[in-house]
Structure 1
Amino acid sequence: MGTTNNRAYNFNAGPSALPLEVLEKAQKELVNFNGTGMSIMEMSHRSKDYEAVHNEAIARLKKLYAIPENYEVLFLQGGASLQFTMVPMNFLQEGKKASYILTGVWSEKALKEAKLFGEPVISASSKENQYRNIPTSNEIKFDSDDAYVHLTSNNTIYGTAWRDFPDTGDVPLIVDMSSDIFSKAVDISKFALIYAGAQKNLGPSGVTVVIIRKDLLEKENTNIPTMLKYSTHADANSLYNTPPTFGIYMLGEVLKWIENQGGVPAIERNNVEKAGLIYDVIDNSKGFYKGHATEDSRSFMNITFRIADEELEKQFLAEAKEAGFVGLNGHRSVGGCRASTYNAVPFEACKALADFMVEFQKKHQ
């Protein structure tokens, strides 16, 4: 393995790297949590010991992300993919349209699900440019009576991200933040609903975080199955049925780790610095490495690039794997290379990859 503690240099796109100290604490508490003689996975979700973990995770999430009082924080299941369905099911009213901004595969999937419930429209798209960029504000068209505007904040497959979010006025802005939640500071008040699978920056797979403005809950459609209504989970403090208790415990521990790092601002500075190491190699390679995203739309979570010679690219990935780097293959739909530098990916891993890329170019230029 590449590191001194026998840990891989983990650049997986998700599930992805978790902080080592969080894993070690979970290991220590695995069979006897808080002196109960039980694992957190064994105890009732109605018990006081679990309820304290649950409520502390919600409170810490609200504090670290500066979430206003008029928002609910929910822990759901089904990943962002179920949110593609729940959003239009709950909020795309009959006779209304919803605007979808297409910036990659995941926003396309969200649009596809919305078509099952009403009339979504594409308000902007960068598909014609192979999803290399984020649409500019003057390219985004929506109506003031739209049910909502939906976008994906960070695009894991193409390596693009929104720097500034559109001002949608009174139209609710709904955002899939699965791959960059808690990677940088955001003004929560700009959004009516944020959803995110936890398995990139917040914990293991199995938990989906939803941050929803309370007034939006009042606009839910009727005749929706109980488990697919946001209000069901808001009214029950995300304990309507058995939640993914271990995942929520782990999420709470990751939030403590973020707090100990100096909070979201410190995490953001670190993320920019880590990604910058790799982008600098790409930019200074004189075309040996070619980034996919335009410079103004680059993601600090997913760095996508190609090597012009396809056989050399295969060799790069093979040699990187031998050197202890994991997860550098691009998504199966586009190929190429991708380094996912989520919050828990350490600086040393990004520095090691940057150095490896420089040495590989020297050998094969």
Structure 2
Amino acid sequence: MPRVHNFNAGPAALPLPALERAQRELLDHDGTGMSIIEHSHRGKAFEAVHNEAISLLRQLLDVPDDYHVLFQYGGASHQFAVVPLNLLHAGRSADYIITGGWSEKAYQEAERIGTVRVAGTTEVDKRYTRIPRQEELTLDPNAAYVHMTTNNTLFGTQWHWLPETGDVPLVADMSSDFLWRRIDVRRFGLIYAGAQKNIGPSGLTVVLARKDLVDGGRKDIPTIFRYATHATNNSLYNTPPTFAIYLVRNVLAYTVETGGLDEVERRNRRKAELLYGTIDERPDFFRAPVEAASRSFMNVVFRLPSEELEKRFIAEAAREGMVGLAGHRSTGGIRVSLYNAVEVASVEFLVSFMRAFASRG
């Protein structure tokens, strides 16, 4: 059966060579006579995979020595609670910049734990079409941290600059654009990212955390929720999602082998250029609601002249082998997710279909 053009928003496409490696090694990992799924997380075979994945992340992002690389479970939604549990001490407040549905959820979860405030939002009638400007933010210089969501899967916006927060640590949910290009990790106090968009399967979250923040984290929370617990135990305090970590290792190794993040960014920019160019050449038929300067390179959203046409577009595209094009249930329309593993050829196939569909009207 031929593989489809996968534009799902997450869980999303993975590089075929990374999957083929897993297929080859599934029954016998590295000559051990059993699958990596069957190995103990305390054994040498898995420990090698685990440490290789951490090393590859450090290599790709040039992660400084004063940052921990942690593997967590539960996805970004779990981190919505774990971040304030660790970093929001009694008597302190945290700032949240609201740019979409997931940053709303992060704020609401933190509200249950401590004092938080909205430091900026671009919400208009329950929709977000742009990223705020620095002068629109009202940041507290005494905040425990500033939280942002770097890419917004529902509304198709993305930060292309970072807010200046002074001495206040910047905490970022990068779940939907982690590793789409190089970043300066030093600009952040803590980064967390669900793996299921760009680097692996669901069920695993990567956390990059400055060591002083981890060391200064709250001690009055359950042991399992403390970043310090997982840092001390190299993310092996309890049984981690071993197969997910194994697949992340495969994806990261493939990324290094094929040119690293510079090559990843080049492909991602080419894909976005193709798709937005096609949308903009037919503004009478394709309507992109996001301001140009805030357009996402990961999740491209647009509307057609009617919902009936949108349903037809999605159905006809599916018959042509393109899946995952329906917008989020809360927003409707069309959403094309261009994560790292989506090939340029798949986007070329899509834009050819779009032009033909628009000509038929």
Among 151, 155, 159, the alignment partner of 1:158 is: 155
Matched, 1:114 2:114: no
CA-CA distance at 1:141 after TM superposition: 1.1
Matched, 1:254 2:236: no
1:300 equivalent to 2:335? Answer no
| 1:175 is the counterpart of 2:168 | no
Distance, in Å, in 2 between the alignment partners of 1:107 and 1:359 is 37
Kindly state the Cα deviation for residue 107 of structure 1 after the two structures are TM-superposed.
0.2
Superposition pairs for residues 52-201 of structure 1, below 5 Å? 52-128=48-124, 130-201=127-198
Q: Deviations along 1:112-161, whole A, 9 cap, x unmatched?
A: 01011111100000112721000011111111110100000000010100
- SS of 1:194 mapped into structure 2: strand
Match for 1:250: what amino acid?
Answer: L
1:12 to 2:8 alignment: yes
Give the letter for the 1:325 counterpart. M
**Alignment-derived partner of residue 276 in structure 2:** 279
Query: 1:151 touches 1:174 (CA, 8 Å); kept in 2?
Result: yes
Q: Deviations over 1:228-249 (max 9, x none)?
A: 0000000000000111111001
Aligned to 1:231: 228
1:44 matched to 2:40: yes
- Structure 1's unaligned 5+ residue stretches are none
Q: Considering only aligned residues, what root-mean-square deviation do their CA atoms show, in Å?
A: 0.9
User: What SS does the corresponding residue of 1:210 show, helix, strand or coil?
Assistant: strand
- Tell me, in whole angstroms, the C-alpha distance in 2 between the residues paired with 1:109 and 1:261: 36
> Counterpart in 2 of 1:327?
324
Q: Deviations over 1:251-290 (max 9, x none)?
A: 0110011112211111011101011111001000032101
Matched, 1:28 2:33: no
* Partner amino acid, structure 2, of 1:122: V
Aligned residue pairs, count? 360
| Among candidates 344, 349, 353, match of residue 352 of structure 1 | 349
- Equivalent residue letter for 1:361: A
Instruction: After TM superposition, give the deviation of residue 218 of structure 1 in Å.
Output: 2.1
Q: TM-score, normalized by length of structure 2?
A: 0.98
Structure 1 runs of 4+ aligned residues shifted over 2 Å read none
Match of residue 210 from structure 1: 207
CA distance in 1, matches of 2:283, 2:78: 43
Q: What's the CA shift for 1:222?
A: 2.1
CA distance in 1, matches of 2:244, 2:219: 31
> What amino acid maps onto 2:45 in structure 1?
D
Q: Distance in 2 between matches of 1:221 and 1:128?
A: 36
Tell me if the contact between 1:154 and 1:177 (Cα under 8 Å) persists in the aligned partners.
Answer: yes
Aligned sequence identity (%): 52
Report the Cα distance in structure 2 between the residues aligned to 1:286 and 1:164, rounded to whole angstroms: 27
Structure 2 counterpart of 1:256, which letter? A
SS in 1 for 2:82: helix
Shift of 1:342: 0.2
Question: Would you say the 8 A contact 1:99–1:122 is kept in 2?
Answer: yes
Matched residue type, 2:220? N
TM-score by length of 1: 0.97
Any idea what SS the aligned residue of 1:72 has?
strand
Residue 286 of structure 2 corresponds to which residue in structure 1?
Answer: 289
Give the deviation of 1:292 after TM superposition: 2.2
Greater shift in the superposed pair: 29-38 or 92-101:
92-101
Task: State the distance in 2 between where 1:28 and 1:219 align.
Answer: 44
Please state whether the residue corresponding to 2:162 is helix, strand or coil. coil
Instruction: Work out the CA distance in 2 between the residues paired with 1:47 and 1:135.
Output: 48
Question: Do the aligned partners of 1:167 and 1:190 also contact (CA within 8 Å) in 2?
Answer: no
